[in-house]
Amino acid sequence: MKRVSLSKAECPVARSLDAIGDWWTLLIVRDAFDGVRRFGAFQKNLGIARGMLTARLKEMVERGVMTVTPASDGTAYQEYVLTEKGRDLFAVVVALRQWGEAHLYAPGEPHSTLVARATEQRVGRLQVRAANGRPLRWDDTEVRTLKASPGGSVAKPTGRPRRVPRTPRSTK
Amino acid sequence: MKRVSLSKAECPVARSLDAIGDWWTLLIVRDAFDGVRRFGAFQKNLGIARGMLTARLKEMVERGVMTVTPASDGTAYQEYVLTEKGRDLFAVVVALRQWGEAHLYAPGEPHSTLVARATEQRVGRLQVRAANGRPLRWDDTEVRTLKASPGGSVAKPTGRPRRVPRTPRSTK
């Protein structure tokens, strides 16, 4: 896969995608959220080649997404644990899960679910909100690029204003 | 990049990653949210090779993420517009943006921001919540795999319970 480096991008979306690298990273993070800690367990869960997993884990440690600790049971194994930076990918993983749940399964087709431990109820759908908590649709928002943002207020719409007409969105 | 097919995965995270394919897709979606509609404009913004962009857009149309429409100005151009399925990737793009903003910029390093049009204020941080609206940390949640989920209630913890000890998380 041809990759353009986005590590210096002004856009945090691009910089995040660059830092994450490829899908394996997010699948490893997903498994770590589920309690997987050891190389062999990641390998078994993911069906990933040893060399690929070694490279991904090394990169994740270098980037501060995971850290290596001695085994929690006193054996000689190393364990891989999410850092706070890694745990902060939780919303990314949940957003991917919910998009898949909504759009990639046939009606009635079973899939795993994410529940609140306390209630066994499925977690709510992620909602983008304004600073005051008001729900925002995608077209209630706009990206402010650097040229326009230093002062915080914008005299006129910037770089790439949304030219998409506001169309009714089906309720769901 | 070696890819294992995850299109039949029980895990919606894996199935989403498979459906999205690679980072280009999310960068194209990001640009579409910003109002980009034409092949040449995507190409210019992304610095992507023509053949790669053609393949990605074709795949996105086939997967129902984008649709092709006649140009809005009456010219012979085709335009690419997000479907509802594509627009539903908004939370994924915002989650990636917010992770990058929090962790991938040096203090004071500028980046683009996502604001509510109505107020020019930056959107709030995405928060995973229970069905009743209560905020949930990652370790307040748990994945229920298929074997345990059909009845909706679970007799004992399933497949991959989280064995990570609950550690204090710094407030931020």
User: By the 8 A CB rule, do B72 and B79 touch?
Assistant: yes
CA distance to A41, A57, A78, A80, per residue, from A72 (Å):
15, 18, 9, 11
More confident residue, B125 or B76: B125
Q: Which two tokens stand for residue A70?
A: 């001695």
pLDDT of residue B127: 97
Work out the average pLDDT over B56-70.
96
Nearest-Cα distance to chain B for A75, in Å, is 16
- Asked if the C-beta of A44 comes within 8 angstroms of chain B's C-beta atoms, the answer is no
Q: Rounded CA gap, A13 and A2, in Å?
A: 18
pLDDT of residue B71: 87
- Asked if the C-beta of B142 comes within 8 angstroms of chain A's C-beta atoms, the answer is yes
pLDDT of residue A148: 52
Instruction: Indicate the burial class of B16 (C-beta count within 10 angstroms; 0-12, 13-18, 19 or more).
Output: buried
More confident residue, A9 or B137: B137
Mean confidence (pLDDT) of chain B: 86
User: By the 8 A CB rule, do A80 and A32 touch?
Assistant: yes
**What are the residues whose beta carbons fall under 8 Å from the beta carbon of A13, sequence distance 6 or more?**
B26, B27, B30, B93, B96, B97, B100
Q: Do A12 and B133 touch (CB under 8 A)?
A: no
Cα A47 versus chain centre, distance:
21
Nearest-Cα distance to chain B for A118, in Å, is 7
Q: Rounded CA gap, B38 and A34, in Å?
A: 41
Nearest-Cα distance to chain B for A50, in Å, is 12
- Asked if the C-beta of A61 comes within 8 angstroms of chain B's C-beta atoms, the answer is no
User: By the 8 A CB rule, do B81 and A114 touch?
Assistant: no
More confident residue, A161 or B145: B145
- For the stretch B2-61, pLDDT in tens is 445 688 889 999 999 999 988 899 999 999 999 999 999 999 999 999 999 999 999 999
- Asked if the C-beta of A96 comes within 8 angstroms of chain B's C-beta atoms, the answer is yes
| Chain A residue nearest residue B93, CA to CA | A13
Helix (H, G, I), strand (E, B) or coil at B44: helix
pLDDT of residue B28: 97
pLDDT of residue A162: 45
Per-residue model confidence as pLDDT tens for chain A (172 residues): 444 568 888 999 999 999 998 889 999 999 999 999 999 999 999 999 999 999 999 999 999 999 999 988 888 889 999 999 999 999 999 999 999 999 999 999 999 999 999 999 999 999 999 999 999 999 999 999 987 544 443 333 344 444 444 444 443 3
pLDDT of residue B75: 86
User: By the 8 A CB rule, do B33 and A138 touch?
Assistant: yes
Interface predicted TM-score of the whole assembly (ipTM), two decimals: 0.84
Which residue intervals of chain B are DSSP H helices?
12-20, 23-33, 39-46, 50-62, 84-87, 90-103
Closest CA to A95 of A117, A132, A124: A124
Q: What residue type is A59 in one-letter code?
A: E
Asked if residue B107 has pLDDT above 90, the reply is yes
Stated as kind and residue range, the H or E segment containing A23 is helix A23-33
Residues of A in contact with B81 (CB under 8 A): 164
pLDDT of residue A74: 85
User: By the 8 A CB rule, do B80 and A111 touch?
Assistant: no
Residues of A in contact with B149 (CB under 8 A): 110, 112-113
